[in-house]
Amino acid sequence: MPWPAAGFFTGFATQGQLRQALDDLLERARAQVGADGVANATLASDAVTGTSAGSLRLYGQGATADDLASLATANYAEGQIVELRIGDVGQPITVKHAGSPGAGQFVTRNGLDYVLGALEQRIAFERTGAYWTETERRGKEASGLVSSYGSGWTALPGARAELDETGEVVLTGAHVHTALAAATSTILTLRAGCRPSATRHFTVTAQVDGVVEVLDVQVATNGAVQVVRAAGAPPSVAVTVWLDPVRFRAEG
């Protein structure tokens, strides 16, 4: 699918050559992101093949969450951009980063997998030889940021962990422990790529056994988000912690 050569339409060409050149122009124009709408693509064995669309709406194999490890490059020109999104929030797609990329594989800008979990999210890649290199991402990444919750901790409805396009992690909402005994307790752990380069401390509002208090929350370089109570605090109390002040630049 090459572009017609410069000056092609000012020189002599047969009717067949002109028709082919116009077809090539049309195909290249339609391949631009969003120029010809969005094509649906269902993953098979962690891959998408047989498409040349500039914008793809992805669905998991078997209507479930899935991984996308490769996108066939055969129908894309060198330097062409393809934009990826999902078609169903019930089918989040994880775009897999390849450290040593092979044919059709992806290289993300931070060297980590990227989870498409919301309809407004977009991630774009440029064909670079045999593989794809990320050029842009839009929308907040909110699926899969929390790798685990601490023992006894529960996130209340509305609690979220998000990673925005600028690389800032934002925690919101309340988390509850019905019988907290430890002075320092891990509320949750953030996955790699959503962690600070050094331990960060935040002052948060909490309700401890029915009394409103101000507590310290620290986010460690291993992703542990911990609440710290004063020494000698009474054991086995109900605690609700609001994490809304917690926001920091993701470095690790």
Q: What is the mean pLDDT of each run of 10 residues along the chain (252 residues)?
A: 66 75 63 67 92 89 90 91 93 94 94 89 95 93 89 95 89 95 93 92 94 95 93 80 95 74
Per-residue confidence (pLDDT) for residue 16, from 0 to 100:
78
Per-residue confidence (pLDDT) for residue 109, from 0 to 100:
87
**Residue-wise over 188-217: b if at least 16 C-beta within 10 A, else e?**
bbbbebbbbeeebebebebbbeeeeeebeb
Query: Closest by alpha carbon to 175, among 245, 247, 243, 246?
Result: 243
Per-residue confidence (pLDDT) for residue 25, from 0 to 100:
58
Per-residue confidence (pLDDT) for residue 53, from 0 to 100:
82
Per-residue confidence (pLDDT) for residue 222, from 0 to 100:
96
- To the question of pTM greater than 0.75 for the whole model, the response is no
Per DSSP, what are the bridge partners of residue 138? 122
Residue 40 vs residues 8, 57, 137: alpha-carbon distances, Å: 35, 5, 19
pLDDT tens digit string along 133-189?
999 999 888 878 899 999 999 999 999 999 988 889 999 999 999 999 888 999 999
